Structure 1
Amino acid sequence: MSVLRCQLTSIKALTQHVYRVELSPSAPLVFHAGQYLQVVMGENDKRPFSIASMPAEHSRIELHIGAEPGNTYAGEVMQTLQQQGEITIEAPLGVAHYRAESQRPLILLAGGTGFSYTWSILQQHLASTDSRPVVLYWGARELADLYMHEQLLQLQRLHENFSYRPVLESPPSDWQGSPGLVHHALLGDFKAQLAQFDVYVAGRFEMVRVVRDEFTQHGLPIEQLYGDALSFI
Protein backbone atom coordinates (compact mmCIF):
# COMPACT_ATOMS: atom_id res chain seq x y z
CA MET A 1 0.00 0.00 0.00
CA SER A 2 1.19 3.51 -0.86
CA VAL A 3 0.25 6.94 0.46
CA LEU A 4 -0.10 9.31 -2.50
CA ARG A 5 -1.06 12.92 -2.99
CA CYS A 6 -3.52 13.31 -5.86
CA GLN A 7 -4.36 16.40 -7.87
CA LEU A 8 -7.92 16.85 -9.07
CA THR A 9 -8.04 16.63 -12.87
CA SER A 10 -11.78 16.87 -13.46
CA ILE A 11 -15.24 16.44 -11.97
CA LYS A 12 -18.18 15.53 -14.21
CA ALA A 13 -21.78 15.09 -13.10
CA LEU A 14 -23.04 11.68 -14.28
CA THR A 15 -26.46 12.05 -12.65
CA GLN A 16 -27.99 14.64 -10.35
CA HIS A 17 -25.95 13.29 -7.44
CA VAL A 18 -23.23 11.01 -8.90
CA TYR A 19 -19.91 12.41 -10.10
CA ARG A 20 -17.01 11.04 -12.10
CA VAL A 21 -13.85 12.26 -10.38
CA GLU A 22 -10.50 11.99 -12.16
CA LEU A 23 -7.29 12.27 -10.17
CA SER A 24 -3.62 12.50 -11.10
CA PRO A 25 -1.50 10.69 -8.45
CA SER A 26 1.94 11.93 -7.43
CA ALA A 27 3.35 8.55 -8.56
CA PRO A 28 1.94 5.77 -10.75
CA LEU A 29 -0.53 3.58 -8.85
CA VAL A 30 -0.06 -0.15 -9.37
CA PHE A 31 -3.25 -2.06 -8.53
CA HIS A 32 -5.54 -4.91 -9.59
CA ALA A 33 -8.91 -4.29 -11.23
CA GLY A 34 -11.52 -4.30 -8.49
CA GLN A 35 -9.36 -2.84 -5.73
CA TYR A 36 -10.18 0.35 -3.85
CA LEU A 37 -8.51 3.34 -2.23
CA GLN A 38 -9.08 5.30 0.95
CA VAL A 39 -9.34 9.08 0.96
CA VAL A 40 -7.49 10.33 4.03
CA MET A 41 -9.66 12.99 5.63
CA GLY A 42 -7.89 12.73 9.01
CA GLU A 43 -5.67 10.41 11.00
CA ASN A 44 -8.67 8.34 12.06
CA ASP A 45 -10.95 9.26 9.17
CA LYS A 46 -10.30 7.28 5.98
CA ARG A 47 -13.08 6.80 3.45
CA PRO A 48 -13.03 3.97 0.87
CA PHE A 49 -14.02 4.30 -2.78
CA SER A 50 -13.68 1.73 -5.54
CA ILE A 51 -11.21 2.54 -8.29
CA ALA A 52 -13.22 2.63 -11.51
CA SER A 53 -10.29 2.93 -13.91
CA MET A 54 -8.17 0.13 -15.35
CA PRO A 55 -4.78 -0.85 -13.92
CA ALA A 56 -3.12 0.12 -17.23
CA GLU A 57 -4.15 3.72 -16.54
CA HIS A 58 -1.80 3.90 -13.55
CA SER A 59 -1.25 7.68 -13.91
CA ARG A 60 -5.00 8.34 -13.89
CA ILE A 61 -7.46 7.36 -11.15
CA GLU A 62 -11.20 7.44 -11.76
CA LEU A 63 -13.80 7.37 -8.99
CA HIS A 64 -17.61 7.39 -9.14
CA ILE A 65 -18.85 9.25 -6.07
CA GLY A 66 -22.50 9.35 -5.07
CA ALA A 67 -23.06 12.46 -2.98
CA GLU A 68 -26.79 12.69 -2.32
CA PRO A 69 -28.08 15.45 -0.01
CA GLY A 70 -27.44 14.40 3.57
CA ASN A 71 -24.61 12.03 2.62
CA THR A 72 -21.85 13.87 4.43
CA TYR A 73 -19.52 10.88 4.06
CA ALA A 74 -19.13 11.46 0.33
CA GLY A 75 -20.20 15.11 0.33
CA GLU A 76 -17.26 16.18 2.50
CA VAL A 77 -14.83 14.43 0.14
CA MET A 78 -16.36 16.27 -2.81
CA GLN A 79 -16.17 19.55 -0.91
CA THR A 80 -12.49 19.01 -0.11
CA LEU A 81 -11.72 18.24 -3.75
CA GLN A 82 -13.58 21.29 -5.01
CA GLN A 83 -12.05 23.65 -2.45
CA GLN A 84 -8.48 22.36 -2.27
CA GLY A 85 -8.05 20.64 -5.63
CA GLU A 86 -6.15 17.74 -4.09
CA ILE A 87 -6.46 14.87 -1.61
CA THR A 88 -4.29 12.24 0.02
CA ILE A 89 -5.10 8.60 -0.64
CA GLU A 90 -4.00 5.19 0.60
CA ALA A 91 -3.98 2.54 -2.13
CA PRO A 92 -4.33 -0.10 -3.33
CA LEU A 93 -6.56 -1.95 -0.88
CA GLY A 94 -8.90 -4.93 -1.10
CA VAL A 95 -8.71 -8.63 -1.86
CA ALA A 96 -11.85 -8.97 -4.03
CA HIS A 97 -10.06 -8.12 -7.25
CA TYR A 98 -10.31 -9.67 -10.71
CA ARG A 99 -9.12 -13.29 -10.91
CA ALA A 100 -7.58 -13.52 -14.38
CA GLU A 101 -6.27 -17.02 -13.70
CA SER A 102 -9.74 -18.52 -13.15
CA GLN A 103 -11.33 -20.70 -15.82
CA ARG A 104 -14.91 -19.91 -14.75
CA PRO A 105 -17.16 -17.36 -16.51
CA LEU A 106 -17.88 -14.13 -14.62
CA ILE A 107 -21.00 -12.53 -13.23
CA LEU A 108 -20.67 -8.91 -12.12
CA LEU A 109 -23.42 -7.70 -9.79
CA ALA A 110 -23.67 -4.00 -8.94
CA GLY A 111 -26.10 -1.82 -7.04
CA GLY A 112 -25.91 1.93 -7.65
CA THR A 113 -22.37 3.32 -7.61
CA GLY A 114 -21.14 -0.16 -6.73
CA PHE A 115 -20.93 -0.21 -10.52
CA SER A 116 -17.51 1.46 -10.30
CA TYR A 117 -16.06 -1.76 -8.86
CA THR A 118 -17.51 -3.89 -11.63
CA TRP A 119 -16.58 -1.34 -14.31
CA SER A 120 -12.87 -1.70 -13.56
CA ILE A 121 -13.13 -5.50 -13.72
CA LEU A 122 -15.23 -5.44 -16.89
CA GLN A 123 -12.80 -3.14 -18.70
CA GLN A 124 -9.85 -5.29 -17.69
CA HIS A 125 -11.55 -8.48 -18.84
CA LEU A 126 -12.69 -7.11 -22.20
CA ALA A 127 -9.27 -5.58 -22.89
CA SER A 128 -7.59 -8.95 -22.36
CA THR A 129 -7.41 -11.96 -24.68
CA ASP A 130 -9.61 -13.91 -22.24
CA SER A 131 -12.75 -15.11 -24.01
CA ARG A 132 -14.65 -16.23 -20.89
CA PRO A 133 -18.25 -15.00 -20.89
CA VAL A 134 -18.99 -12.08 -18.58
CA VAL A 135 -22.48 -10.95 -17.54
CA LEU A 136 -23.09 -7.59 -15.84
CA TYR A 137 -26.22 -7.04 -13.75
CA TRP A 138 -26.59 -3.39 -12.74
CA GLY A 139 -29.48 -2.42 -10.50
CA ALA A 140 -30.80 1.07 -9.82
CA ARG A 141 -34.01 2.83 -8.92
CA GLU A 142 -34.61 4.68 -12.20
CA LEU A 143 -33.15 4.65 -15.71
CA ALA A 144 -31.37 7.97 -15.14
CA ASP A 145 -29.36 6.29 -12.37
CA LEU A 146 -27.76 3.91 -14.90
CA TYR A 147 -25.30 6.59 -15.88
CA MET A 148 -23.36 4.47 -18.39
CA HIS A 149 -26.33 2.62 -19.85
CA GLU A 150 -25.76 3.56 -23.49
CA GLN A 151 -22.04 2.87 -23.31
CA LEU A 152 -22.69 -0.59 -21.90
CA LEU A 153 -25.21 -1.35 -24.64
CA GLN A 154 -22.55 -0.40 -27.17
CA LEU A 155 -19.96 -2.63 -25.47
CA GLN A 156 -22.44 -5.50 -25.61
CA ARG A 157 -22.74 -5.03 -29.37
CA LEU A 158 -18.95 -5.01 -29.75
CA HIS A 159 -18.08 -8.01 -27.56
CA GLU A 160 -19.72 -11.39 -28.17
CA ASN A 161 -18.69 -12.64 -24.72
CA PHE A 162 -20.33 -9.72 -22.85
CA SER A 163 -23.98 -9.54 -21.77
CA TYR A 164 -25.43 -6.46 -20.06
CA ARG A 165 -28.60 -6.91 -18.00
CA PRO A 166 -29.88 -3.71 -16.38
CA VAL A 167 -32.52 -3.91 -13.64
CA LEU A 168 -34.77 -1.07 -12.42
CA GLU A 169 -36.88 -0.89 -9.27
CA SER A 170 -39.13 1.77 -10.83
CA PRO A 171 -38.99 1.12 -14.58
CA PRO A 172 -40.74 3.20 -17.23
CA SER A 173 -43.63 1.63 -19.11
CA ASP A 174 -41.48 0.89 -22.17
CA TRP A 175 -38.62 -0.69 -20.19
CA GLN A 176 -37.00 -3.61 -22.01
CA GLY A 177 -34.89 -4.84 -19.09
CA SER A 178 -35.81 -6.60 -15.86
CA PRO A 179 -37.91 -4.94 -13.11
CA GLY A 180 -37.43 -5.30 -9.36
CA LEU A 181 -34.30 -6.11 -7.36
CA VAL A 182 -31.07 -6.82 -9.19
CA HIS A 183 -30.13 -10.00 -7.31
CA HIS A 184 -33.59 -11.44 -7.95
CA ALA A 185 -33.09 -10.91 -11.67
CA LEU A 186 -29.76 -12.73 -11.51
CA LEU A 187 -31.24 -15.66 -9.59
CA GLY A 188 -34.06 -15.86 -12.09
CA ASP A 189 -31.50 -16.43 -14.84
CA PHE A 190 -28.77 -18.46 -13.13
CA LYS A 191 -30.05 -19.90 -9.84
CA ALA A 192 -29.38 -23.49 -10.88
CA GLN A 193 -25.96 -22.72 -12.42
CA LEU A 194 -24.39 -20.42 -9.81
CA ALA A 195 -21.64 -22.87 -8.88
CA GLN A 196 -20.26 -22.58 -12.43
CA PHE A 197 -19.44 -18.86 -12.02
CA ASP A 198 -17.16 -16.43 -10.27
CA VAL A 199 -19.48 -13.74 -8.88
CA TYR A 200 -18.23 -10.22 -8.09
CA VAL A 201 -20.60 -8.03 -6.06
CA ALA A 202 -20.62 -4.39 -4.90
CA GLY A 203 -23.34 -2.20 -3.45
CA ARG A 204 -24.84 -1.34 -0.11
CA PHE A 205 -23.84 -3.66 2.72
CA GLU A 206 -27.47 -4.78 3.11
CA MET A 207 -27.55 -5.92 -0.50
CA VAL A 208 -24.21 -7.73 -0.29
CA ARG A 209 -25.33 -9.54 2.86
CA VAL A 210 -28.50 -10.79 1.16
CA VAL A 211 -26.52 -11.84 -1.92
CA ARG A 212 -24.07 -13.80 0.22
CA ASP A 213 -26.82 -15.59 2.13
CA GLU A 214 -29.11 -16.37 -0.81
CA PHE A 215 -26.45 -17.25 -3.37
CA THR A 216 -24.62 -19.66 -1.08
CA GLN A 217 -27.96 -21.29 -0.24
CA HIS A 218 -28.39 -21.88 -3.98
CA GLY A 219 -25.03 -23.60 -4.34
CA LEU A 220 -22.48 -20.85 -4.97
CA PRO A 221 -19.28 -21.75 -3.07
CA ILE A 222 -18.37 -18.82 -0.84
CA GLU A 223 -14.82 -18.84 -2.25
CA GLN A 224 -16.31 -17.98 -5.67
CA LEU A 225 -18.05 -14.86 -4.33
CA TYR A 226 -15.91 -11.72 -4.34
CA GLY A 227 -16.70 -8.39 -2.69
CA ASP A 228 -14.72 -6.41 -0.16
CA ALA A 229 -17.92 -5.66 1.76
CA LEU A 230 -17.96 -9.34 2.71
CA SER A 231 -15.09 -8.64 5.11
CA PHE A 232 -17.29 -6.25 7.09
CA ILE A 233 -20.67 -8.00 7.30
Structure 2
Amino acid sequence: MQIIQCKVEKVEALTNTIKRVVLIPEHSLNFVAGQYLQVVMGKDDKRPFSIANAPRKDGTIELHIGAEPGNHYSGQVIEKMLKDKSIQVEGGLGKACLSQTDTQATILLAGGTGFSYVYSILQQILSQPLQAPVILYWGTRTLNDMYAFEELTTLANQHPLFTFIPVIETPEQDWAGKTGWVHKAVLEDIADLSTYQVFVAGRFEMAKVVRDDFTKQGLQMSNLFGDAYAFI
Protein backbone atom coordinates (compact mmCIF):
# COMPACT_ATOMS: atom_id res chain seq x y z
CA MET A 1 0.00 0.00 0.00
CA GLN A 2 1.39 3.36 -1.06
CA ILE A 3 2.21 5.98 1.58
CA ILE A 4 1.43 9.51 0.41
CA GLN A 5 2.58 12.82 1.88
CA CYS A 6 -0.27 15.27 2.43
CA LYS A 7 -0.36 18.97 3.14
CA VAL A 8 -2.66 19.83 6.04
CA GLU A 9 -4.82 22.47 4.39
CA LYS A 10 -7.30 23.00 7.20
CA VAL A 11 -8.13 21.95 10.75
CA GLU A 12 -11.36 23.43 12.03
CA ALA A 13 -13.89 22.70 14.75
CA LEU A 14 -17.15 20.99 13.85
CA THR A 15 -18.12 20.73 17.53
CA ASN A 16 -16.27 21.23 20.82
CA THR A 17 -14.71 17.78 20.40
CA ILE A 18 -14.72 17.02 16.65
CA LYS A 19 -12.30 18.48 14.11
CA ARG A 20 -12.71 18.65 10.35
CA VAL A 21 -9.38 18.09 8.61
CA VAL A 22 -8.77 18.78 4.92
CA LEU A 23 -5.69 17.20 3.35
CA ILE A 24 -4.11 17.86 -0.04
CA PRO A 25 -2.18 14.76 -1.14
CA GLU A 26 1.10 15.08 -3.02
CA HIS A 27 -0.15 12.35 -5.35
CA SER A 28 -3.69 11.13 -5.92
CA LEU A 29 -5.01 8.77 -3.28
CA ASN A 30 -7.09 6.08 -4.98
CA PHE A 31 -10.13 5.11 -2.91
CA VAL A 32 -13.85 4.52 -3.18
CA ALA A 33 -16.65 5.82 -0.96
CA GLY A 34 -16.70 4.01 2.37
CA GLN A 35 -12.99 3.26 2.58
CA TYR A 36 -10.58 4.55 5.22
CA LEU A 37 -6.97 5.63 5.49
CA GLN A 38 -4.28 5.30 8.12
CA VAL A 39 -2.34 8.27 9.42
CA VAL A 40 1.32 7.30 9.76
CA MET A 41 2.55 8.40 13.18
CA GLY A 42 5.62 6.15 13.18
CA LYS A 43 7.09 3.01 11.67
CA ASP A 44 4.79 0.74 13.68
CA ASP A 45 2.12 3.29 14.52
CA LYS A 46 -0.62 3.79 11.92
CA ARG A 47 -3.99 5.11 13.06
CA PRO A 48 -7.17 4.51 10.99
CA PHE A 49 -9.79 7.15 10.18
CA SER A 50 -12.74 6.99 7.81
CA ILE A 51 -12.50 9.19 4.75
CA ALA A 52 -15.42 11.61 5.07
CA ASN A 53 -15.87 12.36 1.38
CA ALA A 54 -16.43 10.60 -1.89
CA PRO A 55 -13.56 10.97 -4.40
CA ARG A 56 -13.25 14.59 -5.57
CA LYS A 57 -11.91 16.05 -8.77
CA ASP A 58 -9.46 18.20 -6.81
CA GLY A 59 -8.17 15.14 -4.92
CA THR A 60 -8.67 16.63 -1.45
CA ILE A 61 -9.34 14.31 1.48
CA GLU A 62 -11.61 15.14 4.40
CA LEU A 63 -11.49 13.56 7.85
CA HIS A 64 -13.77 14.10 10.86
CA ILE A 65 -11.70 13.32 13.94
CA GLY A 66 -13.14 13.07 17.44
CA ALA A 67 -10.55 14.46 19.83
CA GLU A 68 -12.31 14.89 23.15
CA PRO A 69 -10.16 15.54 26.26
CA GLY A 70 -8.30 12.39 27.27
CA ASN A 71 -8.45 10.83 23.80
CA HIS A 72 -4.72 10.75 23.19
CA TYR A 73 -5.06 8.37 20.23
CA SER A 74 -6.78 11.01 18.10
CA GLY A 75 -5.50 14.05 19.96
CA GLN A 76 -1.89 13.24 19.11
CA VAL A 77 -2.81 13.04 15.42
CA ILE A 78 -4.38 16.51 15.53
CA GLU A 79 -1.36 17.88 17.40
CA LYS A 80 1.04 16.46 14.80
CA MET A 81 -1.01 17.89 11.94
CA LEU A 82 -1.07 21.35 13.51
CA LYS A 83 2.63 21.25 14.33
CA ASP A 84 4.05 19.77 11.11
CA LYS A 85 1.47 21.14 8.63
CA SER A 86 1.84 17.83 6.76
CA ILE A 87 1.19 14.17 7.39
CA GLN A 88 1.73 10.81 5.74
CA VAL A 89 -1.29 8.64 5.01
CA GLU A 90 -1.88 5.14 3.70
CA GLY A 91 -5.11 4.19 1.89
CA GLY A 92 -7.71 3.51 0.67
CA LEU A 93 -8.35 0.59 2.91
CA GLY A 94 -11.36 -1.48 3.84
CA LYS A 95 -13.86 -3.65 2.01
CA ALA A 96 -17.06 -2.19 3.52
CA CYS A 97 -17.42 0.23 0.65
CA LEU A 98 -20.07 1.16 -1.87
CA SER A 99 -20.49 -0.82 -5.08
CA GLN A 100 -20.89 1.42 -8.10
CA THR A 101 -23.75 -0.82 -9.28
CA ASP A 102 -25.84 -0.52 -6.10
CA THR A 103 -29.51 0.21 -6.84
CA GLN A 104 -30.91 -1.50 -3.73
CA ALA A 105 -32.83 0.24 -0.93
CA THR A 106 -30.16 1.42 1.49
CA ILE A 107 -29.91 2.22 5.19
CA LEU A 108 -26.94 4.27 6.34
CA LEU A 109 -26.56 3.87 10.12
CA ALA A 110 -24.10 5.91 12.16
CA GLY A 111 -23.35 6.47 15.80
CA GLY A 112 -21.37 9.60 16.72
CA THR A 113 -18.33 10.22 14.53
CA GLY A 114 -19.14 7.04 12.61
CA PHE A 115 -21.08 9.53 10.52
CA SER A 116 -17.97 10.29 8.47
CA TYR A 117 -18.11 6.77 6.98
CA VAL A 118 -21.75 6.97 5.89
CA TYR A 119 -21.32 10.59 4.81
CA SER A 120 -18.78 9.48 2.21
CA ILE A 121 -21.20 6.86 0.91
CA LEU A 122 -24.11 9.30 0.90
CA GLN A 123 -22.16 11.81 -1.20
CA GLN A 124 -21.39 9.13 -3.77
CA ILE A 125 -24.99 7.89 -3.87
CA LEU A 126 -26.40 11.40 -4.31
CA SER A 127 -23.97 12.22 -7.13
CA GLN A 128 -26.37 10.37 -9.44
CA PRO A 129 -30.19 10.32 -9.56
CA LEU A 130 -31.44 7.95 -6.89
CA GLN A 131 -32.83 4.65 -8.12
CA ALA A 132 -34.04 3.38 -4.73
CA PRO A 133 -34.80 4.80 -1.26
CA VAL A 134 -31.86 5.81 0.94
CA ILE A 135 -32.43 6.36 4.67
CA LEU A 136 -29.74 7.83 6.93
CA TYR A 137 -30.13 7.25 10.67
CA TRP A 138 -27.61 9.20 12.75
CA GLY A 139 -27.46 8.92 16.50
CA THR A 140 -25.63 11.39 18.75
CA ARG A 141 -25.74 12.23 22.43
CA THR A 142 -27.13 15.74 21.90
CA LEU A 143 -28.39 17.75 18.96
CA ASN A 144 -25.30 19.99 19.24
CA ASP A 145 -23.17 16.92 18.48
CA MET A 146 -25.02 16.45 15.17
CA TYR A 147 -22.89 18.91 13.24
CA ALA A 148 -24.34 18.17 9.79
CA PHE A 149 -28.01 18.36 10.87
CA GLU A 150 -28.91 21.36 8.70
CA GLU A 151 -27.02 20.07 5.66
CA LEU A 152 -28.71 16.67 5.84
CA THR A 153 -32.13 18.25 6.31
CA THR A 154 -31.54 20.32 3.18
CA LEU A 155 -30.41 17.27 1.19
CA ALA A 156 -33.54 15.37 2.25
CA ASN A 157 -35.66 18.25 0.93
CA GLN A 158 -33.77 18.21 -2.37
CA HIS A 159 -33.89 14.44 -2.96
CA PRO A 160 -37.35 12.83 -2.64
CA LEU A 161 -35.93 9.32 -2.24
CA PHE A 162 -33.51 10.36 0.53
CA THR A 163 -34.69 10.46 4.15
CA PHE A 164 -32.69 11.75 7.13
CA ILE A 165 -33.70 10.53 10.58
CA PRO A 166 -31.77 12.04 13.51
CA VAL A 167 -31.85 10.17 16.84
CA ILE A 168 -30.85 11.99 20.03
CA GLU A 169 -29.82 10.10 23.16
CA THR A 170 -30.34 12.92 25.69
CA PRO A 171 -32.67 15.42 24.00
CA GLU A 172 -33.73 18.87 25.09
CA GLN A 173 -37.32 19.24 26.28
CA ASP A 174 -38.49 20.71 22.97
CA TRP A 175 -37.04 17.88 20.83
CA ALA A 176 -39.86 16.25 18.86
CA GLY A 177 -37.81 13.66 16.99
CA LYS A 178 -36.62 10.15 17.80
CA THR A 179 -34.70 9.45 21.00
CA GLY A 180 -32.65 6.63 22.49
CA TRP A 181 -30.44 4.16 20.64
CA VAL A 182 -30.13 4.74 16.93
CA HIS A 183 -30.33 1.10 15.85
CA LYS A 184 -33.61 0.66 17.74
CA ALA A 185 -35.12 3.49 15.71
CA VAL A 186 -34.48 1.43 12.58
CA LEU A 187 -36.06 -1.67 14.09
CA GLU A 188 -39.13 0.32 15.11
CA ASP A 189 -39.53 1.91 11.67
CA ILE A 190 -38.86 -1.07 9.39
CA ALA A 191 -40.40 -4.40 10.32
CA ASP A 192 -38.85 -6.31 7.41
CA LEU A 193 -35.23 -5.57 6.50
CA SER A 194 -34.92 -8.35 3.91
CA THR A 195 -34.92 -5.97 0.93
CA TYR A 196 -32.33 -3.55 2.32
CA GLN A 197 -28.57 -3.22 2.37
CA VAL A 198 -27.13 -1.62 5.50
CA PHE A 199 -23.89 0.30 6.02
CA VAL A 200 -23.05 0.79 9.70
CA ALA A 201 -20.36 2.68 11.60
CA GLY A 202 -19.98 3.30 15.30
CA ARG A 203 -18.63 1.52 18.34
CA PHE A 204 -17.91 -2.19 17.97
CA GLU A 205 -20.56 -2.92 20.62
CA MET A 206 -23.17 -1.16 18.49
CA ALA A 207 -22.08 -2.96 15.32
CA LYS A 208 -22.45 -6.34 17.04
CA VAL A 209 -25.95 -5.53 18.31
CA VAL A 210 -26.93 -4.30 14.84
CA ARG A 211 -25.76 -7.56 13.29
CA ASP A 212 -27.64 -9.66 15.83
CA ASP A 213 -30.88 -7.67 15.84
CA PHE A 214 -31.10 -6.75 12.16
CA THR A 215 -30.61 -10.31 10.94
CA LYS A 216 -33.44 -11.39 13.25
CA GLN A 217 -35.57 -8.83 11.43
CA GLY A 218 -34.77 -10.23 7.99
CA LEU A 219 -31.51 -8.57 6.94
CA GLN A 220 -29.25 -10.84 4.90
CA MET A 221 -25.68 -11.00 6.20
CA SER A 222 -24.42 -10.45 2.65
CA ASN A 223 -26.16 -7.05 2.72
CA LEU A 224 -24.54 -5.83 5.95
CA PHE A 225 -21.39 -3.71 5.61
CA GLY A 226 -19.08 -2.12 8.15
CA ASP A 227 -15.38 -2.10 8.93
CA ALA A 228 -16.11 -3.45 12.40
CA TYR A 229 -17.21 -6.79 10.95
CA ALA A 230 -13.65 -7.61 9.98
CA PHE A 231 -12.88 -7.78 13.71
CA ILE A 232 -16.03 -8.98 15.51
Q: TM-score, normalised by structure 1?
A: 0.97
Structure 1 CA distance for aligned equivalents of residues 208 and 115 of structure 2: 17
| Paired position in structure 1 for 2:19 | 19
| Paired position in structure 1 for 2:133 | 133
| Paired position in structure 1 for 2:204 | 205
Q: Which residue identity does 1:108 align to in structure 2?
A: L
Structure 2 CA distance for aligned equivalents of residues 51 and 84 of structure 1: 21
TM-superposed CA distance for 1:206, in Å, is 1.0
| Paired position in structure 2 for 1:161 | 161
TM-superposed CA distance for 1:217, in Å, is 2.0
| Paired position in structure 1 for 2:10 | 10
Unaligned residue ranges in structure 2 (runs of 5+)? none
Contact 1:201-1:208 within 8 A present in 2 as well: yes
Q: Which residue identity does 1:197 align to in structure 2?
A: Y
TM-superposed CA distance for 1:182, in Å, is 0.1
1:147 partnered with 2:147: yes
Contact 1:136-1:163 within 8 A present in 2 as well: yes
Aligned length: 232
| Paired position in structure 1 for 2:107 | 107
After superposition, the C-alpha distances for 1:126-168 in whole angstroms (9 at most, x for unaligned) are: 1113422100000000000000101110111111111000000
Structure 2 CA distance for aligned equivalents of residues 50 and 226 of structure 1: 14
Structure 2 CA distance for aligned equivalents of residues 58 and 211 of structure 1: 36
Structure 1 CA distance for aligned equivalents of residues 106 and 57 of structure 2: 23
Contact 2:170-2:180 within 8 A present in 1 as well: yes
Instruction: Report 1:24-35 matches (<5 A).
Output: 24-35=24-35
Contact 1:168-1:178 within 8 A present in 2 as well: yes
TM-superposed CA distance for 1:212, in Å, is 1.0
Contact 2:137-2:165 within 8 A present in 1 as well: yes
Structure 1 segments (4+ residues) deviating >2 Å: none
Structure 2 CA distance for aligned equivalents of residues 74 and 16 of structure 1: 14
| Paired position in structure 2 for 1:224 | 223
Q: TM-score, normalised by structure 2?
A: 0.97
Structure 2 CA distance for aligned equivalents of residues 74 and 195 of structure 1: 37
Q: Which residue identity does 2:56 align to in structure 1?
A: A
Q: Which residue identity does 1:208 align to in structure 2?
A: A
Structure 1 CA distance for aligned equivalents of residues 133 and 2 of structure 2: 33
SS at match of 1:193: coil
SS at match of 2:64: strand
Structure 2 CA distance for aligned equivalents of residues 178 and 130 of structure 1: 25
TM-superposed CA distance for 1:94, in Å, is 0.4
Structure 1 CA distance for aligned equivalents of residues 81 and 144 of structure 2: 25
SS at match of 1:7: strand
| Fraction of identical pairs, as percent | 51
Unaligned residue ranges in structure 1 (runs of 5+)? none
Contact 2:207-2:228 within 8 A present in 1 as well: yes
SS at match of 1:198: strand
Q: Which residue identity does 2:31 align to in structure 1?
A: F
Question: Structure 1 27/227 Cα, relative in aligned 2: closer, same or farther at 3 Å?
Answer: same
TM-superposed CA distance for 1:99, in Å, is 2.1
| Paired position in structure 1 for 2:98 | 98
TM-superposed CA distance for 1:80, in Å, is 0.4
Q: Which residue identity does 2:209 align to in structure 1?
A: V
TM-superposed CA distance for 1:24, in Å, is 0.3
